[in-house]
Amino acid sequence: MFYRPKHQVILLGRPKPQLRGKKPEKKLFGRDSPPKGYPRDQSVYADPENWRYPLHTPWNAKTARRYFDEPSNRAKYTEEEQAYIDWRIDEALNRFAQTSGFRGAKRPSPKPPAQKKIEQLSLNELLRAFLGTARLKRAEEIEDSLVSISNMTPERIDAKVKEYVVYIDLKNHTISHDCQDWRKNMDSKNMCKHLGKLLLSLEPNRAMDLLRDILKHIDEWKFTAP
């Protein structure tokens, strides 16, 4: 006769999150125990083996995202380990958004680098102004085959990046896109990795002309979602 022990609890209706990347192994820079005053449960850290990037509160999740987006911190991990930590942080941010109305830190509006005129900015510098270093790196990692441009005229660009649509209306100064990162940041006129990848797929001078125009006339441009 089959029976289930009383202490065993079966959770229904919530699928197990799909693992991404590879959990980091013990690192030389890692900690042997949690920082003073932080949880002793390794499962609440984005890098559990090294007790780094705690995610137990909305504030800590936001802080983890900000610090892990810094290139010097990401460089300490392999690409697979970066993907794992990104997944853990994003999972925490999404969980807090669903349970408490938390929306994460708002990115500041794009600005040209200090001491440089907009006309002097390279394509890479322009993209970093709109995406930041971490999102630009993720844009560069998207495979070229995942970008399809269905229409490109002097006034309009229609495209898909992965399963997401992008419409750029140059005549009416409007960009429409439908990923969650775009929706979260479009009010501050920041871009996501999908926009970054599309711009990287264009002829460089056209991409630079577009980004320079947006940066010069940022109040005239509308970033929208369907």
Residue ranges per domain, the chain? 17-103, 118-224
| Beta strands at 52-54 and 147-152: parallel, antiparallel or unpaired | unpaired
Q: With CA atoms as reference, report the closest residue to 108 among 53, 187, 34, 182.
A: 187
Query: Alpha-carbon distance 173 to 200, whole Å?
Result: 19
CA angle, 44 as apex, 38 and 45 as ends, to 5°? 80
Residue/partner pairs of 155-160 with CB below 8 Å, 24 or more apart: 157/198, 157/202, 159/198, 159/201
Query: Do residues 42 and 51 lie in contact, with contact meaning Cβ atoms separated by under 8 Å?
Result: yes
* Per-residue pLDDT, 11: 36
Query: Alpha-carbon distance 52 to 29, whole Å?
Result: 10
Helices (H), the chain: 58-68, 71-74, 79-100, 123-141, 180-185, 193-201, 204-216
Which residue has 């006034």 as its token pair? 155
Q: How many residues does the chain have?
A: 226
Query: Alpha-carbon distance 56 to 70, whole Å?
Result: 21
In DSSP terms, which residues pair with 159 in a beta bridge? 149, 166
- Residue-by-residue pLDDT tens, the chain, 226 positions: 434 344 333 333 444 456 678 999 999 999 999 988 889 999 999 999 999 999 998 888 888 988 888 888 899 999 899 999 999 998 888 888 766 555 555 566 777 665 568 888 899 999 998 998 888 988 999 999 999 999 999 999 999 999 999 999 999 999 999 988 898 888 889 999 999 999 999 999 999 999 999 999 999 999 999 8
- Which residues 6+ apart lie within 8 Å of 86 measured at CB? 20, 21, 68
Helix axes 123-141, 193-201, angle to 10 degrees: 110
* Per-residue pLDDT, 106: 57
Torsion sign, CA atoms 94, 98, 99, 103: positive
pTM of model > 0.85: no
In DSSP terms, which residues pair with 52 in a beta bridge? 47
Tokens of 207: 């991409």
